[in-house]
Amino acid sequence: MFKMSVLRKICGITKKDRRKNVDILKELLIETDIVGLLKVRGLTYFGHVNRMGNERFPKMLLHGHTHGHRSRGRPKKKWL
């Protein structure tokens, strides 16, 4: 897990030390789970965007409803 590897580097603890993740979190006084917090905030933002009007760009991008189209093939060269 990336989060624990970063916390181990901060403490200067290697995997060879054979310390449990729970002990490291208690030592650093970390009570909240960062991954869980990010999931909750993502769901909160999803609810915020979902309540927006249909003409707003974040809602259009979330649901994939964009208007217009891209031309087919390689873009033309444009000289300034």
DSSP secondary structure string for all residues of the chain: -HHHHHHHHHHT--GGG---HHHHHHHTT--S-HHHHHHHHHHHHHHHHHTS-TTSHHHHHHHT---S-PPSSSPPP---
- The whole-number pLDDT of residue 46 equals 93
pLDDT of residue 37: 86
**Average of per-residue pLDDT across 38-64:** 90
Q: Can you give the pTM of this predicted structure? A: 0.47
Mean pLDDT score across all residues of the chain: 87
Lowest mean pLDDT among 40-44, 45-49, 56-60, 64-68: 64-68
